[in-house]
Amino acid sequence: MDNNFLVIENISKSFGDNKVLENINLNISKSEFFGLLGSSGSGKTTLLRILGGFEKPDTGRVILNGTDITNLEPFERPLNYMFQSYALFPHLNVFNNLAFGIKENFTQKEIEINVRNIAELLSIEHLLNRRIKQLSGGEQQRVALGRCLIKKPKLLLLDEPLAALDKKLRSKTQLELTTLQKKLKITFVFVTHDQEEAMSLSDRMAIMKNGLILECSSPEEIYENPKSLYTANFIGIANIIEIYKKDENFYSDDLGINLKLNKELKNTKTNILLRPEKIKIQSINNLKTSSFNSFSGEILEKSYLGSFTRYEIKIKNMIISVLDQNFNSNSNYNFPKGEKVICSWESESIKVLED
Amino acid sequence: MKNKLFEKYFVFSPYFWLVLFFFIPLAIIFKISISVSEWGMPPYQDIFLFDNGFKINTTFENYVYIFTDYYYIGSFVNSLILALISTFFCLLIGFPLAFYIATSNIRLRNILLVLVVVPFWSSFLLRVYAWKIILQNNGILNVILLNLGITSEPLQLLYNQYAVIMGIVYTYLPLMILPLYGYLNKFDLNLIEASKDLGLNRIKTFFKVILPLSVPGIVAGSLLVFIPVVGEFIIPEMLGGSDRLYYGKILWEEFFVNRNWPGASALAFSGIIILVLPIVIFQILYSRWSQKNEI
């Protein structure tokens, strides 16, 4: 795979004294679905706008398919940008919105055919004569997508593509978007603040914070083996425990227990990550706590989530989150509030956060 | 219940105002326009006579007179042309200004808006008079041109139709900028970026996106300039020469110099009808069009 399809090289950008992007480097492959994830103010949208040509970087280059496009105007770039607000033209109907970008270079007949094809692809044939105001949010999103795809771009940039949709529609559209992307094999780069969205859509994703890229990898890798404390907390639910070396093993003051790691540590003191679904929860009657990687605690809070039950378990100075899958249909299977339980986990489940 | 009643009267109070100070005076003007003129005070006869039984004493001669004399029609046409040219230049200058104001950051925007409105704080008459001082033969502009050696003798800048157009564009420009700003302020700048992203350069983006979406602002600003300029009297009187006669001046002379009240009233009333009717029709057609296009 050509992983130099889109090369972002040493991009920096400031607005006045405010440094928005600092020395960003990224390589994105052809046909990749790439996510930029960060909270607001992380610089993710500015980076996307630089790719679209709406902002000029202070330093650095953007190279698309071997061509330096850093100084090209938006209308000269072989890529398209889908706006968060969709930015559909209110004075034109759906047909003319879709045809907007191809009107110049195509004959009336070609326009007709192209619009029909794209409308069919997105199942919006019945909307072609509608005004933009007569469309629902989901329909507007499709028109915005179609207006870009009709240009057959090499690269599609999407700014918060699903943020304006309601929750149920969002998960449906997520699936459609990935299917569409795999079918068309266009490289997608999108921006989101929603970690679930980033994980479900991306082949690879970059975590951004304060104008820097903290980590860039597949969603699985970032969830299971985050490199930094920030990423661990940002993606999913995280139990972060401070441990230090004691004799042969490790000890946590907050939990008051010994831990066993299947890995050597550089430092004598460090943070570890324990994901809530990796913890096994058992009734205290069944067995005793072992000397490692287990503790007994009291259930403080419990929320039933259907497929899972989330427990907040208090032990010594800490509250640990545990996600327990509901295997049994018997509701008595759940532990009640206030019950003493034993929690345990495998040594492999402990992830060391080195920095 | 009481509040409802109050609301009703409150809503209708502008109509009350309109009837009292617009429709009744208009009716009086119409009445004078169809009466027979005579020497005296007031210089027209009553339209209802009760001397020997009831008799209606009206005439449409005043209307026949102004519509058959090129002097009146010509001056009205001159005024329409003047209003068209002035509106065009106001739009040409006002649109980029309004767009720049609407798209600049909030601090600069407020400063610029104040600058647009500032001329209203001084007297209209004074501002037009200031132009007279600037443009006259030994005025500031001629002095500068002479000292720079651009001309060897003072240019005749004042007392012609160009001075009138300049004066009108200067005075009426805020009336164009403010409604335009009101519309452009709500303009979604992402639409411009979307247009560029879809391959249209700046000029094409202007004609395909910015202009069509600014039509309501352009219409509002143009009407606000066009209508009063047709009847404008002071600016042609102060800056204009004898090269062109305008409707406002003819009206003034007919009334104050010739003391022909019925003729002046007929002129005024015809002017209103000629101007208002097409605008009302235009407004109806336009509102239908904009509803259809949802702008």
Question: Which of A49, A72, A100, A115 to substitute to test the interface with B, most B CBs within 10 Å?
Answer: A100
Q: Residue B290: closest CA among chain A residues belongs to which residue?
A: A91
In a domain, B254, yes or no: no
Kindly state whether B213 is in contact with chain A, defined as any CB-CB distance less than 8 angstroms: yes
Ranges assigned E (strand) in chain A: 6-15, 18-28, 33-38, 59-64, 67-68, 79-82, 155-159, 187-192, 204-209, 212-217, 239-246, 249-252, 257-259, 269-274, 280-283, 294-304, 308-315, 318-325, 340-344, 351-353
Three-state secondary structure call for residue B277: helix
**Interface test mutation site (partner A, options B190, B193, B197, max chain A beta carbons within 10 A):** B197
Cα B201 to Cα B189: distance, rounded to the nearest angstrom:
15
pLDDT by position in tens, chain A (length 355)? 567 899 999 999 999 889 999 999 999 999 999 999 999 889 999 999 999 999 999 999 999 999 999 999 999 999 999 999 999 999 999 999 999 999 988 999 999 999 999 999 999 999 999 999 889 989 999 999 999 999 999 999 999 998 888 888 888 888 899 999 999 999 999 999 998 889 989 999 999 999 999 999 999 999 999 988 899 988 888 999 888 887 778 888 888 888 887 777 777 788 889 999 999 888 877 666 666 788 888 899 888 888 888 999 998 888 999 998 887 766 556 788 888 888 888 888 888 887 6
Query: What total of structural domains would you count in chain B?
Result: 2
* B62 and B78 within one domain: no
- Mean of pLDDT values over B121-137: 88
Whether A211 is covered by a domain: the verdict is yes
pLDDT at B1 over 60: no
Residue of B nearest to A146 (CA): B198
Q: What is the pLDDT of residues A23-74, one digit of tens each?
A: 999 999 999 999 999 998 899 999 999 999 999 999 999 999 999 999 999 9
Helices (H) and strands (E) in chain B, counts: 14, 2
Q: How far is A51 from chain B (nearest CA, A)?
A: 11
Same domain, B153 and B242: yes
Contacts of A81 in chain B (CB under 8 A): 193-194, 197
- Residue at which a domain ends, from A190, A207, A234: A234
Q: Note the helical H segments in chain A.
A: 44-52, 94-99, 108-121, 137-149, 167-184, 195-201, 219-224, 229-234
Domain of B240: which CATH number? 1.10.3720.10
ipTM value for the complex:
0.84
Question: Are residues A70 and A26 part of one domain?
Answer: yes
C-alpha dihedral, A266 to A271 to A277 to A283, nearest 10°: 100
Both B201 and B275 in one domain: the answer is no
Which chain A residues are Cβ-neighbours of B293 within 8 angstroms?
Answer: 91
End residue of a domain, out of A208, A234, A260:
A234
- Give the pLDDT confidence of A267-277 residue by residue, as tens digits: 778 888 999 99
Chain B residues whose CB is inside 8 A of the A132 CB are 294
Residues B265 and B244 in one domain: no
Based on the structure, what is the number of domains in chain A? 2
Q: Is residue B253 part of a domain?
A: no
How far A148 CA sits from the closest chain B CA (Å)?
7
At residue A285, the pLDDT reads: 73
d(CA A224, CA A349): 9
Q: Which domain holds residue B55?
A: 1-68+260-295
- The verdict on A66 touching B (C-beta cutoff 8 Å) is no
Task: Tell me which of A112 and B11 has the higher pLDDT.
Answer: A112
A255: CATH? 2.40.50.100
Chosen domain end from A234, A258, A284: A234
In total, the C-beta contacts within 8 angstroms joining chain A to chain B are 63
Residues B286 and B213 in one domain: no
Are residues B81 and B58 located together in one domain of the fold? no
The CATH number for A125's domain is 3.40.50.300
Looking at the structure, do residues A114 and A139 belong to the same domain, yes or no?
yes
Amino acid at A228: S
**pLDDT of res. A327:** 79
For B173-208, how does the pLDDT look when each residue is reduced to its tens digit (9 = 90+)? 999 999 999 989 888 999 999 999 999 999 999 999
pLDDT at A44: 94
Contact A91 B212 (CB under 8 A): yes
Residues B54 and B99 in one domain: no
Domain with A297, as residue range(s), is 239-353
Strand ordering across the sheet containing A351-353 = A257-259, A249-252, A239-246, A269-274, A351-353
A1 belongs to a structural domain = no
